[in-house]
């Protein structure tokens, strides 16, 4: 099995619309991970929920969502096909937990171009800044709020050990 590629990043909810815009510039679309019906997996933004999947727009029809009967919903993940997973950073009171972008490599030129393009863009959009444990990537809104003392960073995502 191929090893996935991951990019950890701290994005405040105010940073997300810029990612949404760049995803569209790449010719990609945002998808929900789960939905009551197959047709409503597509979405236009990232302002609700915990995560999104990113797909090349021309490949959406080829994706294979899975129906989970006990939950009566359709689900997709990076195992469903050429998708990029975007787990949002979690803002809990004044603490910002990391999020991530993740994908499994596919022998698919449009997907590879989109995935590498997105990762390069995120690295520019969210440059590394010093944190007490080492450098971390922060979006512009997150960085400004950290500098102003309005929020602080948490090293580990909620629910993880230590």
Whole-angstrom distance, CA of residue 13 vs CA of residue 112: 27
Distance of CA 61 to the CA centre of its chain: 21
pLDDT of residue 65: 84
- pTM of the full structure: 0.90
Per-residue pLDDT reduced to its tens digit, 41-50: 888 888 888 9
Token pair, residue 89, equals 């950073």
Mean pLDDT of 117-128: 98
Token pair, residue 72, equals 């009566």
For 10-77, strand residue ranges (E) read: 28-31, 34-35, 42-43, 51-56, 66-68, 73-75
């Amino acid at each position: 099995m191929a090893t996935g590629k991951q990019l950890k990043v701290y994005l405040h909810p105010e940073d997300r619309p810029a990612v949404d815009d760049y995803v569209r510039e790449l010719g990609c679309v945002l998808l929900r991970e789960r939905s009551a019906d197959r047709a409503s997996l597509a979405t236009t933004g990232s302002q609700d929920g915990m995560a999104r999947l990113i797909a090349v727009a021309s490949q959406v029809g080829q994706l294979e969502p899975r129906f989970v009967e006990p939950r009566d919903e359709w689900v997709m993940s990076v195992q469903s096909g050429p998708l990029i997973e975007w787990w949002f950073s979690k803002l809990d009171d004044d603490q910002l937990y990391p999020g991530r972008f993740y994908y499994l490599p596919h022998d698919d030129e449009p997907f590879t171009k989109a995935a590498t393009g997105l990762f390069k863009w995120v690295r520019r959009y969210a440059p590394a800044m010093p944190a007490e444990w080492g450098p971390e990537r922060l979006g512009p809104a997150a960085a400004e709020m950290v500098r102003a003392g309005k929020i602080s960073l948490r090293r580990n995502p909620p629910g993880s050990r230590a």
